[in-house]
């Protein structure tokens, strides 16, 4: 196996920071993998060091890691010297935290070079290729432990000072087995349970990867399903090469629409329009009244059904109306559409569900920024504000946005970003990563006609509106020329 679960016996013999054969471990959590270094040891636990950005501010304050532990304990934020590839020294921000043996099942020992992708490593700015000063790391950890703010400081100090805990006489349990043998059996059981848990995690990851590669992407969010049922499939655009693309099925989008499309078979647009007009005439002869609700309803019961208004499923037939209803729906329930966009970002990144860092990771790894420097600064301001808001720091996110406006004005005054960016108090955007992905821009344009953060049904409504805007000026011009023509005179239009 490329990675194996850290057992109790392996942890007891694990080399710590400062020793010659010290090794990095991997902390496996949902949606992320973090490189950690064991620094100190206590009975029943380890003191680990990780990159400062491994945990969010909300996780540190609440002392909770979702799906891992509800009692993270005190987390120390320190800086340790490190050497960059060019030989210069730099301060590297790190986190120090206690990790009990009951949570060893989340730690992995890496064999060979089988490191997981997108591993969170210590960094200085945007540079991750560096070497930490392990001796300074050990000294910093000892100083932090000696401060006594952590509840387990005494346990670490006991080991550091070489004071062995008072040995109690071995008791003979009623079953006749000595206590040390029982402890060994318990260690073996814990190690076996941790190994089984790790195997289950690996099998689940393999299943998810196989299903995501063989099955069409799953529809996400009720807002997407309802918009899909209302707007219809996305039309072809000139931005994509001519190819057949199968659109993913959206569960819960309304069975009436699928039944009508199956019955329609291979009907063309003209046949569909005739069928729609016939149905409308039938409804009028029966005296049925249509609702006059405005906006884009988010539930099937809140608007006319597909049978009452079959033109609604013809993408582009009413572009102006569709965009207006989409806008009204977004204003009525903005959270549903924001969640839908985050789900789309998580789907691109291969995450099972979005988290606080999903959008920032999407901007860093997937947004086709290239060499657009000003656009990169603006995007980084927005995504850092969103990360703060997702972490619960709304006022801090508001501050990032307002400072961003000030920075943009400063940029216009100076015509450069040197002083303007310092106003934001933010780290530098990942320009090197963006530039490295510039060669893939052509393929991205060939594969996608619209942003991956926009559902095809929303794009279909916008395209339909654009088509309406292209037709309207032509119609108005024809009417003006017809009015200006003399009676009995016909104008010839050459296109």
Q: Is 276 exposed, middle or buried (0-12, 13-18, 19+ CB in 10 A)?
A: middle
**Sign (positive or negative) of CA dihedral 10, 13, 18, 22:** negative
126 vs 365: CA distance, rounded Å? 13
**pLDDT tens digits, the chain, 495 residues: what are they?**
467 888 888 888 888 988 878 889 999 988 899 999 999 988 888 999 999 999 999 999 898 898 898 888 888 899 999 988 888 888 999 999 999 988 988 998 887 777 888 899 999 888 888 888 888 898 888 888 887 666 676 777 666 655 444 444 444 444 455 555 666 677 677 767 766 776 777 777 767 766 655 555 444 555 556 555 555 565 554 444 444 444 444 344 444 434 444 444 445 555 665 666 666 666 655 554 444 433 333 333 334 443 433 334 434 446 777 788 888 888 888 888 889 898 999 988 888 899 988 998 899 888 888 888 899 899 999 999 999 998 889 999 999 999 999 999 999 999 999 899 999 999 888 888 888 888 888 888 888 888 888 888 877 878 877 877 776 555 555 555 555 555 544 443 433
Closest CA to 84 of 24, 124, 27: 124
* Torsion (CA) 167, 171, 173, 178 in degrees, nearest 10: 70
Whole-angstrom distance, CA of residue 62 vs CA of residue 142: 25
pLDDT for 423 equals 92
Helices (H) and strands (E) in the chain — how many of each?
A: 17, 8
CA-based R_g, the chain, Å: 31
Q: Are 453 and 338 in contact (CB under 8 A)?
A: no
Q: How far is CA 63 from CA 71, 74, 139, 141, 488, in A?
A: 6, 7, 25, 19, 85
Q: Are 63 and 56 in contact (CB under 8 A)?
A: no
SS3 readout for 390-452: HCCCHHHHHHHHHHHHHHHHHHHHHCCCHHHHHHHCCCCCCHHHHHHCHHHHHHHHHHCCCCC
Q: How far apart are CA 47 and CA 145, in angstroms?
A: 10
pLDDT at 51: 93
The predicted pLDDT at position 142 comes to 87
Are the CB atoms for 363 and 383 separated by under 8 Å? Answer: yes
pLDDT at 400: 93
> What is the predicted pLDDT for the residue at 234?
55
Distance CA 289, CA 4 (A): 67
H-assigned helices in 18-73:
57-62
Residue by residue, what is the 3-state secondary structure of 358-380? HHHHHHHHCCCCCCCHHHHHHHH
| DSSP code at position 37 | E
Return the pLDDT at 42: 87
Question: By three-state DSSP, how is residue 99 classified?
Answer: strand
Give me the pLDDT at residue 214, please: 54
């Amino acid at each position: 196996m490329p990675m194996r679960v850290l057992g109790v016996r392996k942890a007891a013999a694990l080399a710590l920071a400062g020793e010659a054969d010290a090794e990095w471990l991997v902390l496996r959590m949902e949606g992320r993998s973090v490189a950690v270094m064991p620094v100190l040891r206590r009975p029943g636990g380890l003191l680990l060091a990780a990159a400062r950005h491994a945990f969010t501010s909300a996780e540190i304050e609440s002392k909770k890691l979702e799906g891992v532990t509800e009692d993270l304990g005190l987390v120390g934020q320190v800086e340790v010297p490190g050497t960059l590839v060019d030989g210069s020294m730099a301060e590297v921000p790190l986190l120090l935290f206690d990790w009990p043996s009951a949570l060893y099942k989340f730690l992995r020992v890496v064999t060979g070079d089988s490191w997981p992708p997108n591993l969170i490593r210590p960094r200085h700015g945007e540079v991750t290729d560096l070497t930490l000063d392990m001796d300074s790391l050990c000294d910093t950890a000892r100083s932090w432990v000696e401060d006594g703010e952590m509840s387990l400081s005494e346990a670490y100090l006991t080991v550091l000072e070489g004071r062995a805990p008072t040995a109690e006489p071995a008791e003979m349990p009623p079953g006749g087995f000595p206590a040390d043998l029982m402890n060994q059996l318990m260690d073996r059981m814990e190690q076996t349970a941790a190994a089984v848990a790790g195997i289950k995690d690996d099998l689940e990851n393999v299943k998810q990867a196989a299903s995501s590669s063989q099955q069409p992407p799953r529809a996400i969010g009720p807002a997407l399903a309802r918009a899909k049922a209302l707007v219809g499939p996305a039309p072809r655009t000139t931005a994509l090469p001519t190819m057949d693309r199968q659109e993913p099925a959206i569960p819960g989008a309304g069975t009436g629409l699928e039944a009508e499309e199956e019955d329609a078979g291979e009907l063309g647009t003209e046949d569909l329009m005739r069928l729609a007009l016939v149905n409308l005439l039938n409804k009028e002869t029966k005296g049925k009244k249509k609702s006059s609700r405005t906006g884009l309803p988010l539930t099937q019961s809140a608007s006319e059904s597909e049978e009452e208004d079959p033109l609604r499923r013809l993408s582009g037939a009413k572009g102006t109306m569709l965009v207006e209803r989409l806008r009204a729906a977004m204003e009525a329930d903005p959270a549903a559409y924001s969640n839908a966009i985050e789900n789309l970002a998580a789907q691109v990144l291969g995450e099972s569900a979005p988290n606080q860092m999903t959008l920032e990771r999407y901007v860093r790894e997937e947004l086709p920024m290239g060499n657009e420097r000003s656009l990169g600064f603006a995007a980084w301001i927005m995504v850092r504000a969103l990360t703060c808001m997702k972490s619960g720091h709304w006022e801090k996110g508001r501050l990032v946005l307002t400072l961003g406006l000030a920075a943009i004005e400063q940029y216009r005054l100076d015509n450069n970003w040197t002083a303007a960016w310092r106003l934001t108090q933010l780290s530098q955007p990942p320009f090197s990563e963006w530039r490295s992905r510039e060669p893939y821009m052509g393929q991205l344009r060939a594969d996608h006609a619209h942003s991956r953060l926009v559902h095809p049904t929303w794009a279909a409504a916008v395209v339909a509106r654009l088509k309406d805007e292209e037709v309207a000026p032509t119609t108005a011009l024809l009417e003006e020329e017809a009015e200006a023509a003399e009676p009995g005179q016909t104008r010839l239009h050459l296109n």
